[in-house]
Chain A
Amino acid sequence: MDFSLTPEQQEWQTAAIEFAKTSLADDMIARDHKGEFSRDLWQKCADFGVQGLPVPEKYGGNGADVSTAIAVMEGLGYGCKDAGLLFSINAHLWTNSVPILLYGTEEQKQKYLPGLCNGALIGANGASEPESGSDVFAMKTKAVKKGDRYILNGTKMFVTNAQVSDLIVAYATLDEKMGVLGICGFIIEKGFPGVSISKKIDKMGLRTSPMAEIVFENCEVPAANLLGREGRGAEVFNCSMEWERSCILASCLGTMRRQIDKCVEYARMRKQFGKPIGKFQSVANRIVDMKVRLETARPLVYKIGWLKDHGKSAVAEAAMAKLYLSESFVKSSLDAIQVYGGYGYMTECELERDLRDAVGSQLYSGTSEIQRNIIASMMGL
């Protein structure tokens, strides 16, 4: 296994960093405060090719392999301070575009993928419900087949991108008694009768990534919009979670690298007791720990890229990478604030936002506890 970037991947990553620094730099403090999503930046990312990364050229994408997608996301995480925007793009890619690519019919792929790649369409994912989060397949949203349509009724909770989305990959059950084998995936256009955005949800971090509840009330979905086989929606969902866990934190690797650069620079420049604070071992050690976390987390993510590029499953690896990286990200975000002292705690320093953004990573795409359960189960425990 060779996890070093190929010249082409390196070129992509360098271009992504440059693009992010020049085109995605805007007044983050104010937009974070207002919780404002930028459609303009979304479009710039699409024009750069981010939303089309894993999608083959024939559907309007770039046909990049997984390792390249990870390299680009890492580059964006380093160069772009709008973690909410990157989070929204990740949700769009791994829980909407990729399931359509992998499980969609030819007609569905031709209809939806070009718009999802070129920025015209924004995708969302509706799985969680008020009463089923970790136990997602206990969902209550019901799908009843009537002729050539399914009628959906239920509420989806914590839907990233909901307010700005055009297309929701959502899940419903044919009958709760059927358990995991009653779940169906659907591609739901926002304009289908019976779809409504019920409540905007404000959050601790990732505030520029919109979130809301979605209600389906006698929502009519053409049978042609079933995603995957009837009753096999759990397969679609598990696959999308494996992809999301694999790739969503690649941008956090970039942010962790940015935090280290920032801390090294500060520790060299800031003087107390007559010398740079980096000369105090306890400050230097803190930055060393941040570095060790980054260097140990990075191969876990690139290993998944390698596995997926070689057609191998990465269920346990994705769970391990997600668990380790998210917990490392939170610890390093706290460390960065400590290195900066009181200044680190202040909004202007832009480190407190990283911490708020980081905390969500231990929750979305399955909490740390659920990742540990997945790993334990893969170990035969």
Chain B
Amino acid sequence: MSDVKEYLRDYILQEFLPGESRENLTDDLPLRTSGILNSIKLLQLIGHLEEKYGIAFDAHEAGNVANFDTIEGMASLVSSKKG
């Protein structure tokens, strides 16, 4: 799970938060509910994770805010799906 977390951190920093320091992007930082990830970015991230890990999130998994608000939540969902 930690490799997924680090991958997510890299991707989010590179794509959505250029110039932001890595330490500030903590595992529990709310990304969706805080508005850091707007709808376009959130959809891009989900599509990217599905493609990278060869998984598919169903509507209720992706729509559950707890799963897709923080790096912690996302990494745990991805890890459980990729088995």
Q: Which A positions have Cβ atoms within 8 angstroms of B?
A: 137, 174-175, 177-182, 184, 229-232, 234-235, 238, 315, 374, 377, 380
Q: Which B positions have Cβ atoms within 8 angstroms of A?
A: 16-19, 32, 38-43, 46-47, 58-60, 62-65, 68
Query: B65 contacts A179, CB within 8 Å?
Result: yes
- A-B contacts at CB below 8 angstroms, number: 53
Which chain A residue lies CB-closest to B38?
A377
Can you list 25 A-B contacts (CB < 8 A)?
A: A174-B59, A177-B65, A178-B59, A178-B60, A178-B63, A179-B32, A180-B39, A180-B42, A181-B62, A230-B58, A230-B59, A231-B58, A231-B60, A231-B62, A231-B63, A232-B59, A235-B43, A235-B47, A238-B39, A238-B40, A238-B43, A315-B40, A377-B40, A377-B41, A380-B18
For residue B36, give the distance in angstroms from its CB to the closest CB of chain A: 10
Q: CA–CA, A184 to B41, complex, Å?
A: 18
Query: A182 contacts B59, CB within 8 Å?
Result: yes
For residue B45, give the distance in angstroms from its CB to the closest CB of chain A: 11
Which chain B residue lies CB-closest to A231?
B59
Q: CA–CA, A257 to B76, complex, Å?
A: 56
Q: CA–CA, A355 to B68, complex, Å?
A: 45
Q: CA–CA, A374 to B40, complex, Å?
A: 9
Chain B positions within 8 Å of A182 at CB level: 59, 63
For residue B11, give the distance in angstroms from its CB to the closest CB of chain A: 15
For residue A315, give the distance in angstroms from its CB to the closest CB of chain B: 7
Q: CA–CA, A121 to B47, complex, Å?
A: 32
Q: CA–CA, A178 to B65, complex, Å?
A: 7
Which chain B residue lies CB-closest to A178?
B63
Centre residue among B18, B47, B60, B63 by max chain A CB count within 10 A: B63
